[in-house]
């Protein structure tokens, strides 16, 4: 059933002309316009707390990356964390907390790589990618790092010459590729 007027289909996404389209800019699907507005509300509430993501993370008991992802609508707020987050960020409204507890639409704006800090991380992974993959394969065999059972942190250190250093830790479960044996395929065709 198509949505008309102010009806909101799945996920509360309104089907209408976006503000970007009305302003003559390329429009993102309405889902992205809604997400952008939600993220702005959440970041505004965070800023009112006067705290950094790391400070909020320490109070809530989450990693700083996961905490930031909550505010960028990339992770789902779990019920057992609500009270601590509301205490850490009092400006969060009931609607904000309800939105944060919904399954997020995990996505990113493709223009994100135009931001220099993010492009440098992307570039570093690309340049070291073959080596990282070879090391993973040497240590564990053929497989990947899970993005589901995943922890990320950003920390700081001081280098040997006294320069500020950034430490980015990506900690994911190893998932081995499986040999696809016929007897293991529970969904095989019945002829």
d(CA 135, CA 141) in angstroms, rounded, equals 9
- Long-range own/partner contacts, residues 106-111 (CB < 8 A, 24 or more apart): 106/74, 107/32, 107/35, 109/28, 109/32
The yes-or-no answer on residue 179 being catalytic is no
User: Going from the N-terminus, what domains does the chain have, and what CATH number goes with each?
Assistant: 28-101 (1.10.260), 112-181 (3.30.1160.10)
For the entire predicted model, the pTM comes to: 0.74
* Residue tagged active-site, from 25, 102, 106, 120: 120
Per residue in 22-78, pLDDT (tens digit) is: 555 454 445 556 888 999 999 999 999 999 999 999 999 999 999 999 999 999 999
If you search the block for the tokens 């509300």, which residue do you land on? Answer: 41
From residue 49, how far is each of 1, 84, 110, 145 by CA, in Å? 42, 13, 30, 35
Please give the Cα distance from 78 to 82 (Å, whole number): 7
Q: What is the pLDDT of residues 70-102, one digit of tens each?
A: 999 999 999 999 999 999 999 999 999 999 999
Cα distances (angstroms) measured from residue 75 to each of 13, 51, 72, 105, 150: 18, 20, 8, 9, 12
| Residues whose CB falls within 8 Å of the CB of residue 167, separated by 6 or more in sequence, listed in order | 153, 154, 155, 156, 157
pLDDT value at residue 29: 47
Active-site residue flag, 120:
yes
From 174, 188, 186, select the one nearest 141 (Cα to Cα): 174
- The question of whether 115 is a catalytic residue gets the answer no
Q: Which helix (H) or strand (E) is 188 found in, with range?
A: none
Tokens of 112: 């994100």
Higher-pLDDT residue of 191 and 150 is 150
Catalytic residue among 25, 115, 146, 165: 146
* Angstrom distance (rounded) from CA 16 to CA 26: 14
pLDDT at 9 over 80: no
pLDDT digits (tens, 9 = 90+) for 144-171: 999 998 999 999 999 999 999 999 999 9
Q: Which of 6, 123, 163, 183 is catalytic?
A: 123
């Amino acid at each position: 059933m198509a949505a008309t007027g102010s009806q909101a289909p799945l996920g509360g996404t309104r089907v209408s002309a976006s503000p970007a389209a009305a302003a003559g800019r390329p429009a993102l699907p309405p889902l992205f316009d809604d997400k952008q507005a939600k993220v702005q509300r959440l970041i505004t509430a965070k800023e009112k707390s006067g705290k950094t993501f790391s400070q909020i993370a320490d109070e809530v008991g989450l990693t700083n990356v996961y905490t930031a992802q909550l505010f960028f609508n990339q992770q789902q707020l779990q019920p057992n964390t609500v009270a601590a987050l509301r205490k850490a960020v009092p400006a969060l409204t009931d609607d904000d907390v309800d939105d944060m507890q919904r399954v997020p639409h995990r996505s990113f704006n493709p223009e994100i790589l135009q931001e220099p800090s993010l492009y440098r991380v992307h570039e570093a992974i690309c340049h070291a990618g073959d080596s990282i993959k070879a090391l993973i394969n040497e240590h564990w065999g053929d497989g990947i790092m899970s993005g589901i059972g995943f922890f990320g942190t950003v920390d700081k250190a001081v280098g040997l010459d006294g320069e500020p250093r950034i430490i980015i830790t990506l900690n994911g479960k190893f998932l081995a590729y499986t040999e696809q044996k016929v007897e293991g395929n529970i969904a095989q065709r019945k002829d």
